[in-house]
Chains A and B, each alone.
Chain A
Amino acid sequence: MKVKVISRSTDEFTRERSQDLQRVFRNFDPNLRPQEKAIEYVRALNAAKLEKIFARPFIGAMDGHIDAVSCMAKNPNYLKGIFSGSMDGDIRLWDMASRRTVCQFPGHQGAVRGLAASTDGHTLVSCGTDCTVRLWNVPVATIVESDDSSNCTAEPLAVYSGNNAFWDVDHQWDGELFATAGAQVDIWNHNRSQPINSFEWGTDTVISVRFNPGEPNLLATSASDRSITLYDLRVSSPARKLIMRTKTNSIAWNPMEPMNFTAANEDCNCYSYDARKLDEAKCVHKDHVSAVMDIDFSPTGREFVTGSYDRTVRIFQYNGGHSREIYHTKRMQRVFCVKFSCDASYIISGSDDTNLRLWKAKASEQLGVLLPRERKRHEYHEAVKNRYKHLPEVKRIVRHRHLPKPIYKAASLRRTMTEAEGGKKKEGKLIVLQEVLPLNHYVKEESSKKLSELWHYQLL
């Protein structure tokens, strides 16, 4: 007869010295854990409530401008800094950590309409309504930067003047060229005082311009004749034009999928397009109740932030419909520009009330260095909340956001209007409304080459 009984020796299961860690033994058998689904549900509910308790997205405001902030630029080499230009011609470089001005760039006589930093981070390009384009030398961040008293002002490297007011500027990724938008699209080189190239299609002003991050010779512009035009520098002619029902205020390319761009439109929606196929929008992002003024993608390419005329900042998913987050404050007036910080953790919004505001991208995120246990606990909370977020109790808590009354009323009014128009819209892709042109072309092609042939970018 062979007999064996469970026998455990105490030293195998307890620690030897008090300096040692306690021993942990795991048995993942589901029979040892009755009611695990109910426990997970309770944890999901608690995680949703905790997220709401810790949701404090506003970090601080950067105070200093004396007129509305009209444009901002990120410095790709220096994550802590951000440039901002205001309506009275004042350009400042801010240090986001201390929320102070590091450097001022006085010089513009009128409103500063566009700011762009070169890829190496040493040059700042600004353009304004005083018909000038100025290039500035950006001071390199030194160890002495924390000294508040040294508020340096910089002299411009070069001042180039044109014939008409400029509306926007953007610098080429990894190149020496920058483009300005005004009466026409001009391509400039740092060293030339006259544009080396000029594009025009139509007679209306071009109000925004953006270079493609993946394909350095491709750029997208939007004009006040409600169109979005794609240009290619190698072919030196415009490639495609898309006409919409309302004007596009700003365009942003997805840094992770550079063939897609999203346009921030006057009709309160953002439209995401695939640049190779412009006849249909990939996605419509609807949530704002007033014109969307600015849009910027996160470096992860998974979400983007929009600032709107209705005094709110919203964060959308790149492929989704409704916004995942909305930020608003009583003191923040019309938002004219927004930027997503280069580490995807912060959002900077510049608004009419002369302040730049710094927000967290994830409202309940714990900033700073996290212990591995804390990180694991946060990840677990996220995972368990995502598993049960479709259930009514959890959904009610996760979805809840306080909206200012005018926005709530405006949103419900819009909802009633769309419902009255014809019931629920079809799920899926919404076709962008395009005007019927006398030439019977919805998308005009100037170049004979197919746009897809201009792409050398390979999808990884």
Chain B
Amino acid sequence: MGVKQDNADPGQILPPIEQELSNELDPKLKKYLRGEGTNLEVLKDKKLKSQLSVREELYGISAKAAAKAEEWLMPSEGGYLEVEGIEKPWRINQHSISSEINISSLKNQHDIIIPDLGPYTLDFNSSGRYMAVAGRKGHLAVLDMKNMSLIKEMQVRETVRDIVFLHNELFFAAAQKKYPYIYNRDGIELHCLKEHGSVLRLQFLKSHFLLASINKFGQLHYQDVTMGEMIGNIRTGLGRSDVMQVNPFNGVVALGHSGGTVSMWKPTSAAPLVKMLCHPGPVSAMAFHPNGHLMATSGKERKIKIWDLRKFEVLQTIPGHARALDFSQKGLLAAGNGSFVQIFGDLSESQHYSRYMGHSMVKGYQIGKVLFRPYEDVLVLGHSMGWSSILIPGSGEPNFDTWVANPYETSKQRREKEVRSLLDKLPSETIMLNPSKIGTMRPVKKKEKQTKQEIAAEMEAAVEAVKDTAFKNKTKGRNKASKRAKKRKELIERVKRPLLERQLKEDEKLAKKPKISEKENALPTALQRFASKKATA
């Protein structure tokens, strides 16, 4: 391991406070170390070994500093819900929570009812401050959730099936009846993406600046929104699918099909990376955990399955129906079904999901989309009569990093961030199932061309092995010296033959390559076509 433990030294007795600290820091250290250190024992190169051991030590020091910073320097604390006595957490409703929390959080509990404009779907930007909502009947709106203000709303008078923010809150894409359109924050239509066709679902890959869409005919399109280039145009061949999610860990797009299969795609290949059979019936919803290892899928046979994506195995099956699924930043799973939403959480850190909370709305409201708000303990439900926002303590990450996502961003900071994220834009070839493979070296191929000395040595060794074999002593005049010598010579030639044949083959291969003769080489380029075309051996 790359970290030297301070308390491993038996002669050193730490004061009790420091001991406590080091015990608390160990699990956090693991997170910051980002995996195991390299095994330096197998290295024979001393210079490289010393350089790498210095680096490993530096990693240990920086992991310790990060763990200490997490311990002491974080400004906010996470939310929690603790029940006493015989109370069960899933019986607690929003009303009882609202009486216990402070007033400033109460504004996050609300219902917006817009009955005529159809089931609503929504999307958040990366910092959780801005929300884009789209009603099926053509209502598009962008809201600022901090101030609860409406930035822009418009009516496009067409069916809108999906809406996503692009890299900023300034741009969003709406999947309208015939084509997806990209709009400005001021409501100006910027682009009409005709190539995509009638899109059912849209997703945006933030670090690659790719807009992915799945349309009615099952075609997957990847478009680079910086230059407008269509990177990938894949006919999935698996029919129409309503379920599309992006795995934030590695950037692959997963589609759920009506046969119960989930397929994972990357823009550069025409065949899916993975095709797994998840349910006996159609897949109705899908969600990815932010750490990239867990995937939750729900099928129409009323089962929610939680998969481990490293081994592609089912970890857990939860009975229940889910038309919408979402994971929060802290790993809580929300399953929306009809007018009821269930929240599951792995409360004992054992990756076993159990009921945590629930919320039921007015009967008749059909929940179409559930989305956790980043960096807040809020879950927003998009349903057939508008959208509702409820509080789920413990679902959001309390401490944001200013340079990753800042809910209090000013316009200057937003512009800087846009430029920097464009500089760090990942090429579409970096989308792979295991992104930690980037930067590793491929193992060296064993086959190396043998040098002349090695070939000679091999031949000598073979001859040596056979030189001293004893021949049977023949009688009746058949044991002549000349015959013995001939036999020995033949034996040695027999041993040498395969090696010589191998040499010949390699020489033939080299000779086959057309070589320009020296004379032709000496001619200037304009006169080279007058040189003889015969390849010289």
Contact = CB atoms under 8 A, between A and B. Distances in A.
Interface residues of A, number: 43
A26 B402 contact: yes
A14 B409 CA distance: 9
Given A3-B97, A28-B32, A34 B102 contact: no
A5 B391 contact: yes
Interface in B53-99: 66, 69-70, 73-84, 87, 92, 96-97
A173 interface: no
B375 interface: yes
B296 to A, nearest CB: 17
A50 B250 CA distance: 28
B101 A39 contact: no
Given A4-B101, A22-B413, A35-B426, A391 B439 contact: yes
B78 A6 contact: yes
Interface stretch (A41-49, A191-199, A264-272): A41-49
Contact of A37 (B97, B407, B435): B435
Interface in B382-430: 391, 393, 396-405, 407-408, 410, 413, 423-427, 430
Interface in A386-400: 387-388, 390-391
B480 interface: no
A376 to B, nearest CB: 13
Q: Is the interface of B mostly helix, strand, loop or mixed?
A: loop
Given A22-B413, A30-B32, A30-B34, A42 B424 contact: yes
A299 B268 CA distance: 52
Interface string A7-20: 11110111000000
Nearest to B427: A42
Nearest to B410: A22
A38 B398 contact: no
A95 to B, nearest CB: 41
B376 interface: yes
A38 B437 CA distance: 9
Contact of A3 (B77, B100, B439): B100
Interface string A370-389: 00000000000000000110
A24 interface: yes
A27 B34 CA distance: 15
A250 B356 CA distance: 79
B401 A1 contact: no
Contact of B408 (A13, A34, A37, A387): A13
Nearest to B33: A30
B207 A34 contact: yes
Contacts of A13: 75, 407-408
Contact of B401 (A26, A422, A423): A26
Interface string A58-71: 00000000000000
Interface string B351-387: 0000000000000000000000001110000000000
A5 B430 contact: no
Contacts of B84: 1-2
A34 B292 contact: yes
Nearest to B249: A34
- Which of A5, A13, A14, A30 has its CB near the most chain B CB atoms (within 10 A)? A5
A1 B92 contact: yes
Nearest to B247: A34
A393 to B, nearest CB: 11
A41 B100 contact: no
A24 B32 CA distance: 21
B436 interface: yes
Interface residues of B, number: 72
Given A38-B438, A42-B430, 11 more contacts: A1-B84, A1-B96, A6-B377, A8-B76, A9-B104, A25-B75, A29-B31, A35-B249, A35-B426, A39-B426, A42-B427
A3 B435 contact: no
B425 A42 contact: yes
A318 B77 CA distance: 52
A28 B66 contact: yes
A383 to B, nearest CB: 10
With a 10 A CB-CB cut-off, give which of A6, A23, A42, A424 has the most chain B CB atoms. A6
B100 A1 contact: yes
Contacts of B83: 1
A419 B396 CA distance: 63
A32 B401 contact: yes
A33 interface: yes
A15 to B, nearest CB: 9
B5 interface: no
B155 interface: no
B100 A27 contact: no
A31 B290 contact: yes
A46 B451 CA distance: 39
B99 to A, nearest CB: 9
Contacts of A39: 207, 424, 426
A1 to B, nearest CB: 5
8 contacts: A1-B96, A3-B79, A3-B97, A3-B100, A4-B81, A5-B391, A41-B438, A41-B439
A3 B410 contact: no
A117 to B, nearest CB: 36
A30 B31 contact: yes
